[in-house]
Amino acid sequence: MNVSLIGGTGFVGTHLGARLIADGHRPQLLVRPGGGPRPDWLAACATVSGDVGDDDAVAECVAGCDAVVYLIGILREDRAHGVTFEELQFRGVERTISAARRVGVRRFLLMSANGVKRDGTPYQRTKFLAEEALKASGLDWTIFRPSVIFGDPQGHMELCTQLKRDIIDSPLPAPLFYPGLLPLNAGTFELAPVAVGDVAAAFCHALTHADTIGQTYDLCGPGAHTWKDILKTIAAACGRTKLMLPAPALAVQAVAAALDRFPWFPITRDQIAMLLEGNRCDGGNGFERLGLTPTPFDAASLAYLNT
C-alpha cells in the first residue's frame, strides 16, 4: 500500500515510517527543506519537498497513494516563525483533506490527542477542530487520540527525555504541581504514557482493517500513573533517586506568563493546565478494541534514556 505521511519525519513519524516499511508498505513523505533529523529509512522512500502550508506540495505528496496519515503536532508555538497550533494542527489538516479529495484518495488517518475539546487550550481546541473537519469530509477516516507518548526520541523532542533533562538532571528538587493554595494533592494527577511503537502499530493495523473506518480510538498505556510516580520511574531508569517538593501551579504559571514565550523556558502555562487535568483513558482504551497489547511504562521500557 502506498501511504502518504504528512509529518513523517517527526517523532511519531520516524517510528511509523519504519513500521510501515517493515510491514511491506511504501511511504511517501512530505519533507520540509532545512528541517530536523532525517530517519535512516528515508532514502528508500518517495519524498516531496515542501511544507504543509504549500498546497501544491501537499497535493503532490498525496497523489498516487492509497491512504494519507496526518501526524503533525506541536507542543508550543513559535509565532515569529509561523509555527502555530492553528496553522499546523488545524489548517494543515484542512489543506490535506482538500488535497486528498481532489486526487481521489479516500482513506485518511489522523493523529489527534487524548483529552481534546472545543473549549480547551489552543492545543486541545485545534486538535478538536481538525477532528471535526475530518469527520465532515466524507472521507474514510480513523482518528487516534494518544495520551502522552514516550520512546526512543531518535533526535526529536520526547516526553521522558525532556523530563530527564529538565527535572531529573537538574540540581533543583522535582516539582510536584498542585492546584489551589494547599498542597493536599501535590503530584497526584494521573497520566497514561503510551509507547511510540504501540502508536505506530495502531496506525498500521487500521490501514489493513476496514472495521476501523469511522472510529476514534483513545490510546493509553496499561494503567495510569501519577506525576510523582512518573518522575520516580524516570529517575529509577537512570539509576537515580530524586528529591521532590510540592510546587503551586499558580506560582509556576505566573512565572511562565512572563517567560514561556522564550524557547528555553521548559514549560508553558497551557502545558501546566493540561498536566493538572490529567490524561488517561477513562472512556476505555482503544488498544483493547484494536486487539493490541500496549507496552507498560516502567524502567525497562525507558532503557533508551541511558543511551
- Third-level CATH fold of 2-151+192-219: Rossmann fold (3.40.50)
**Residue 235: pLDDT band with limits 50, 70, 90:** very high
Which is it for strands 215-219 and 140-146: parallel, antiparallel or unpaired?
parallel
How far, in Å, CA of 158 to CA of 175, rounded? Answer: 19
Mean pLDDT of 32-50: 87
Neighbours of 249 (CB within 10 A): 20
E-state strands within 192-290: 194-195, 215-219, 225-226, 244-248
Q: Could you give the 3-state DSSP secondary structure of residue 59?
A: helix
- 156, 14 in Cβ contact below 8 A? yes
Nine cell digits for residue 170: 537538574
Q: Yes or no: say if 137 and 131 are a contact pair by the CB < 8 Å rule.
A: no
CA neighbor of 68 nearest in space, from 115, 121, 108, 114: 108
Question: Mind listing the pLDDT tens digit for each residue in 256-273?
Answer: 888 888 888 888 999 999
State the average pLDDT over residues 34-39. 80
Q: Is the pLDDT of residue 22 over 90?
A: yes
Query: Residue 107 in contact with residue 180, Cβ under 8 Å?
Result: no
pLDDT exceeds cutoff 80 at 208: yes
pLDDT, tens digit, for every residue of 149-186?
A: 999 999 998 999 999 999 999 999 999 999 988 998 99
Whole-prediction pTM:
0.95
Residue 191: its pLDDT value, please? Answer: 97
| Residue ranges with strand state E in the chain | 2-6, 26-31, 46-49, 67-70, 107-111, 140-146, 149-150, 174-178, 190-191, 194-195, 215-219, 225-226, 244-248
Query: In which band, very low, low, confident or very high, does the pLDDT at 78 lie, cut at 50, 70 and 90?
Result: confident
DSSP H or E run through 171: none
Per-residue pLDDT tens digits for 268-299: 999 999 999 999 998 788 999 999 999 999 99
H/E stretch holding 114 reads: none
Residues composing the chain:
307
Task: Please give the Cα distance from 25 to 11 (Å, whole number).
Answer: 19
Given a cut of 80, whether residue 248 has pLDDT beyond it is yes
Q: Are 113 and 74 in contact (CB under 8 A)?
A: no
CA distances from 261 to 78, 80, 165, 256, 267 (A): 8, 10, 20, 8, 10
Spatial separation of the C-alpha atoms in residues 39 and 248, rounded to whole Å: 40
- Judge whether 60 and 48 are in contact, CB under 8 Å: yes
